[in-house]
């Protein structure tokens, strides 16, 4: 294949298709891990894995540093691809430190801390992949990202459960009268080895597929280390407000779930996560369809083309509306049957939560998409309000409705938090667009 043909771009529709399909496959596979764990080991083990996922969500945002939104809208090449890649090394280290601080703050037991920190390793690999996906997206080749997500999603799931089953069988053999193994040690060892195996597989894909694909776009000029350090520092300072706000936004959505585990234990956390897990498909369908629109929206905004810019936002709003209606109708018809099929009859008393959680997922998708719009219009410092008020709403909700109403309280706390954030972002975007 010639160098020219290798660098051909895809249409917006093709990029949307590859990005959406790849992302859905990846996250459906991640969701299936939780589903199968419930079936194999019960809500307790699923709750521990869900705790690890929740506890690492905000630190993972530190690793991403919200550079991706800035990266794909950097159409003038203010920073090079190498500088974006180098910055990810530093932010990934920060993310691990942030995760350790979360573990210490909540005072998790050793077994929980081990699982949380091991899952943080998996999130670091995701952070590495993300910066390569940004290069793909900027060059309108989301097919590379879509293929990578598909391979990592399916492969990680297979590797996770291969390790899970093998370690389980070995541990059962070792459980003799002379060498008993505690339940806690058994669960921790099995999850730890499975997560590490999954992380290593994902790392291999990133190194041997993603990194090789982006080489054709990355300049091969000699690196001036002093200039590189200066540029990376400038990039991180520029994106720092975005990173802070993204961290606060994510933490505001994590706090109610962490308090749920603190107040009511792993099993309740596992039940809530199991009910909520299928809704990730709805959330991702919306956010991944929006991602390929960021570069063209950035061009329209930078060119001052208000009509086309608003037209793009209106189309996305209509898409969100259609997804919402379809999701609610589908949930009404299939939620009970689907959840019982996936998790067994033990989940039946909690099926009523599914539609409220669907609404939460739609609000999360809207919130994330509006955050990207705020970034591309460079309304960065104004976004501190979004994160600050989000944290405030989440803490108040957690200490009141979550503590009082358990899983129902989590839904109410999340809805209140998201509505506050969406309202602030709408005002920011409206004021900025008005000046176009």
Instruction: Report the alpha-carbon distance of residue 58 to residue 96 in Å, rounded.
Output: 11
What integer pLDDT is reported at residue 299 of this predicted model? 83
What integer pLDDT is reported at residue 1 of this predicted model? 38
Q: Note the pLDDT tens digit of each residue in 258-272.
A: 899 889 988 898 899
Q: Provide the pLDDT confidence category of residue 4 given band limits of 50, 70 and 90.
A: very low
What integer pLDDT is reported at residue 134 of this predicted model? 92
| Average pLDDT score, the chain | 86
Q: Is the pLDDT of residue 5 over 50?
A: no
What integer pLDDT is reported at residue 210 of this predicted model? 95
Count Cβ atoms below 10 Å from residue 337 Cβ, excluding itself.
10
**Which phi-psi region, left, alpha or beta, contains residue 9 (left: φ > 0; alpha: ψ -120 to 50)?**
beta
Count Cβ atoms below 10 Å from residue 28 Cβ, excluding itself.
18
Q: Is the pLDDT of residue 200 over 90?
A: yes
Torsion of CA 413, 416, 420, 423, to 10 degrees: 140
Q: Note the pLDDT tens digit of each residue in 141-190.
A: 889 999 999 999 999 999 999 998 888 766 555 555 445 555 566 667 88
What integer pLDDT is reported at residue 27 of this predicted model? 85
What integer pLDDT is reported at residue 180 of this predicted model? 52
Q: Provide the pLDDT confidence category of residue 322 given band limits of 50, 70 and 90.
A: confident
Q: Note the pLDDT tens digit of each residue in 331-344.
A: 889 889 988 888 88
What integer pLDDT is reported at residue 83 of this predicted model? 93
State the average pLDDT over residues 194-220.
93
Position with higher pLDDT, 371 vs 390: 390
What integer pLDDT is reported at residue 2 of this predicted model? 38
Q: Provide the pLDDT confidence category of residue 3 given band limits of 50, 70 and 90.
A: very low
Least confident of 187-196, 274-283, 326-335, 356-365: 274-283
Q: Note the pLDDT tens digit of each residue in 393-433.
A: 999 999 999 999 999 999 999 999 999 999 998 898 888 88
Position with higher pLDDT, 92 vs 174: 92
Q: Is the pLDDT of residue 213 over 60?
A: yes
What integer pLDDT is reported at residue 243 of this predicted model? 83
Six-digit token pair at 217?
């776009």
2-6, 43-47, 325-329, range with greatest mean pLDDT: 325-329
What integer pLDDT is reported at residue 433 of this predicted model? 84
């Amino acid at each position: 294949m010639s160098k020219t043909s290798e660098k051909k771009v895809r249409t917006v529709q093709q990029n949307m298709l590859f990005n959406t399909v790849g992302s859905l496959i990846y996250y459906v596979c991640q969701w299936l891990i939780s589903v199968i764990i419930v079936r194999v080991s019960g809500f307790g083990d699923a709750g521990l894995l869900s705790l690890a996922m929740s506890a690492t969500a905000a630190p993972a945002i530190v690793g991403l540093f919200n550079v991706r939104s800035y990266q794909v809208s950097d159409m003038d090449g203010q920073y090079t691809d190498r500088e974006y890649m180098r910055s990810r090394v530093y932010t990934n280290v920060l993310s691990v430190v942030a995760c350790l601080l979360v573990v210490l703050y909540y005072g998790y037991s050793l077994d929980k801390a081990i699982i949380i920190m091991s899952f943080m390793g998996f999130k670091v690999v995701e952070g590495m992949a993300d910066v390569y996906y940004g290069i793909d997206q900027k060059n309108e080749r989301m097919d590379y990202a879509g293929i990578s997500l598909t391979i990592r999603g399916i492969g990680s799931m297979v590797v996770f459960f291969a390790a899970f089953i093998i370690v389980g069988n070995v541990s059962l053999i070792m459980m003799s009268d002379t060498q008993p193994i505690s339940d806690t040690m058994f669960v921790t060892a099995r999850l730890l080895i499975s997560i590490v195996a999954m992380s290593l597989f994902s790392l291999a894909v990133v190194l041997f597929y993603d990194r090789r694909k982006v080489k054709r776009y990355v300049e091969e000029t000699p690196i001036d280390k002093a200039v590189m350090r200066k540029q990376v520092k400038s990039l991180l300072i520029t994106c720092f407000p975005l990173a802070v706000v993204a961290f606060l936004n994510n933490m505001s959505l994590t706090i109610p779930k962490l308090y749920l585990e603190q107040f009511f234990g792993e099993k309740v956390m596992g039940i809530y996560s199991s009910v909520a897990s299928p809704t990730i498909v709805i959330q991702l369908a919306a956010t991944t369809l929006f991602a390929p629109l960021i570069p063209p929206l950035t061009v329209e905004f930078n060119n001052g083309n208000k009509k086309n810019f608003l037209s793009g936002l209106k189309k996305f709003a209509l898409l969100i509306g259609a997804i919402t209606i379809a999701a609610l109708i589908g949930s009404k018809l299939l939620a009970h049957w689907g959840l019982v099929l996936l998790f067994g009859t033990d989940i039946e008393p909690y099926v009523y939560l599914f539609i409220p959680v669907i609404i939460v997922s739609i609000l999360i998708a809207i919130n994330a998409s509006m955050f990207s719009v705020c970034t591309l219009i460079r309304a960065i410092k104004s976004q501190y309000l979004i994160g600050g008020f989000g944290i405030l709403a989440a803490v108040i909700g957690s200490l009141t409705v979550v503590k009082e109403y358990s899983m129902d309280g989590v839904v109410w706390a999340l809805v209140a938090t998201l509505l506050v954030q969406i309202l602030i972002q709408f005002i920011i975007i409206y004021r900025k667009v008005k000046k176009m």
